[in-house]
């Protein structure tokens, strides 16, 4: 599943995570080819409102984003099938500024397929896919400005606060004065709605999370037994994130052969696979400011479930004014 060049670092990250408290698997294990297909299926589920709300905002604002950014290069971090990105591709190509699209994704199979489709649908564009995580994507971003870096789907919420701060600071350092960042973020709402979104009756989300165990068993010669773990996502009110985890049904031991680990699980102990943080403007805007980014526009859908944030690098005294809202 992982590229050969990233295997040592991924294995070490997996070792550290499994020896941590709580035990955890890096979320990259979710996104082999099968996992990526399952995730795309999740985005079409009725209770998983995020894509629909983000689509609503993009449909209303993509033309304005194109006019404001005049991007020659569009970079998308965590692109997947890049379905919602097409709103930006359409408006930027219609405007006549866009020359290249650089999608970044950890799933090489999905990336290759989506890049081929976009190249066929937008023949005037140079499509330059980058296989790897966000860090590698930043290192390989094409230099031609103006650039628009899109990070959609509230994928930024899968990062812990320290990781998020690091990525935002790296983005701020990478962006030039003519570049822009477009962030999609999910907003705090009724916990019952959130829990339904991550535990659908059809079981697709559970299959997606369990696929991480399948991938680790295959790649790391591990003995995670699906029957010994229950799917147990829950809302963490203190941190305001969904804690997406599997819970040991009984006490047992798991071997991870390639890492030389023997992991003892107590009954009820959680194995975290991912978090999905939810945001409030009054907290997130200062995060951006601390990273060296200023908010130019903040748009929400009509139900105020989701937000798109257009930001630029650089913080000055004039940034105290309220940005555009919607």
In this structure, what CATH number is given to the domain that contains residue 320? 3.40.50.150
Mark whether 259 and 306 lie in a shared domain: no
CB 197, CB 214: distance < 8 Å: no
CB-based contacts of 34, cutoff 8 Å, min separation 6 = 211, 214
**Which helix H or strand E contains 230, and what residues bound it?**
strand 229-231
Neighbours of 160 (CB within 10 A): 12
Tell me what pLDDT residue 224 has.
98
Looking at the domain assignment, is residue 38 inside a domain? no
Count of structural domains, the chain: 2
Mark whether 98 and 234 lie in a shared domain: no
Rounded to whole angstroms, the Cα distance separating 78 from 153 reads 9
Domain of residue 217, residue span = 4-29+195-277
Whether residue 22 is preceded by a cis peptide bond, meaning omega within 30 degrees of 0, is yes
The string of pLDDT tens digits covering residues 176-205 is 999 999 999 999 999 999 999 999 999 999
Q: For residue 137, is pLDDT > 70? A: no
Q: 261: which strand partners?
A: 256
Q: What percent of the chain has pLDDT over 70?
A: 93
Mark whether 205 and 229 lie in a shared domain: yes
Looking at the domain assignment, is residue 269 inside a domain? yes
CB 244, CB 207: distance < 8 Å: no
CB 315, CB 292: distance < 8 Å: yes
Mark whether 120 and 182 lie in a shared domain: yes
Mark whether 77 and 207 lie in a shared domain: no
Mark whether 54 and 160 lie in a shared domain: yes
Looking at the domain assignment, is residue 41 inside a domain? no
Looking at the domain assignment, is residue 45 inside a domain? no
Tell me what pLDDT residue 141 has.
77
Tell me what pLDDT residue 41 has.
93
Mark whether 288 and 209 lie in a shared domain: no
Looking at the domain assignment, is residue 23 inside a domain? yes
Mark whether 55 and 183 lie in a shared domain: yes
CB-based contacts of 153, cutoff 8 Å, min separation 6 = 43, 50, 51, 54, 78, 80, 84, 184
Mark whether 140 and 227 lie in a shared domain: no
CB 80, CB 36: distance < 8 Å: yes
Instruction: State pTM to two decimals.
Output: 0.89
Token look-up 């199979």 returns: 109
- If you average pLDDT over every residue of the chain, what do you get? 91
Looking at the domain assignment, is residue 44 inside a domain? no
Looking at the domain assignment, is residue 34 inside a domain? no
Looking at the domain assignment, is residue 251 inside a domain? yes
Mark whether 74 and 152 lie in a shared domain: yes
Tell me what pLDDT residue 80 has.
79
Tell me what pLDDT residue 211 has.
96
Tell me what pLDDT residue 139 has.
73
Mark whether 130 and 184 lie in a shared domain: yes
Mark whether 107 and 18 lie in a shared domain: no
Confidence of residue 154 (pLDDT cuts 50, 70, 90): very high
Tell me what pLDDT residue 318 has.
41
């Amino acid at each position: 599943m992982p590229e050969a060049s990233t295997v040592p670092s991924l294995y070490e990250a997996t070792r550290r995570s499994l020896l941590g408290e709580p035990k955890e698997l890096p979320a990259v294990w979710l996104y082999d080819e099968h996992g990526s297909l399952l995730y795309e299926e999740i985005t079409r589920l009725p209770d998983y409102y995020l894509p629909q709300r983000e689509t609503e905002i993009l449909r209303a604002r993509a033309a304005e984003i194109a006019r404001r950014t005049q991007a020659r290069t569009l970079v998308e971090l965590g692109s997947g099938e890049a379905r919602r990105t097409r709103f930006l591709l359409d408006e930027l190509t219609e405007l006549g500024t866009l020359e290249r699209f650089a999608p970044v994704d950890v799933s090489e199979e999905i990336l290759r397929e989506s890049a081929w489709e976009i190249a066929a649908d937008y023949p005037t564009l140079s499509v330059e896919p980058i296989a790897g995580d966000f860090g590698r994507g930043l290192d390989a971003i094409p230099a031609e400005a103006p650039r628009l870096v899109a990070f959609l789907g509230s994928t930024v919420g899968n990062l812990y606060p320290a990781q998020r701060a690091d990525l935002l600071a790296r983005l701020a350092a990478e962006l030039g004065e003519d570049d822009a960042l477009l962030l999609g973020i999910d907003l705090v709402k009724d916990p019952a709605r959130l829990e339904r979104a991550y535990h659908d009756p059809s079981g697709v989300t559970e299959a997606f999370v369990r696929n991480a165990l399948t991938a680790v068993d295959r790649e790391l010669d591990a003995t995670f037994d699906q029957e010994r773990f229950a799917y147990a996502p829950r809302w963490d009110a203190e941190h305001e994130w969904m804690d997406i985890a599997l819970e040991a049904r009984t006490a047992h031991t798991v071997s991870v052969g390639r890492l030389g680990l023997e992991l003892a699980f107590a009954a009820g102990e959680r194995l975290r696979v991912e978090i999905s943080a939810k945001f409030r403007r009054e907290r997130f805007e200062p995060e951006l400011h601390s990273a060296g980014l200023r908010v130019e526009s903040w748009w929400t859908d009509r139900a105020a479930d989701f937000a798109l944030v257009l930001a630029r690098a650089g913080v000055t005294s004039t940034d105290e004014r309220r940005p555009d809202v919607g």
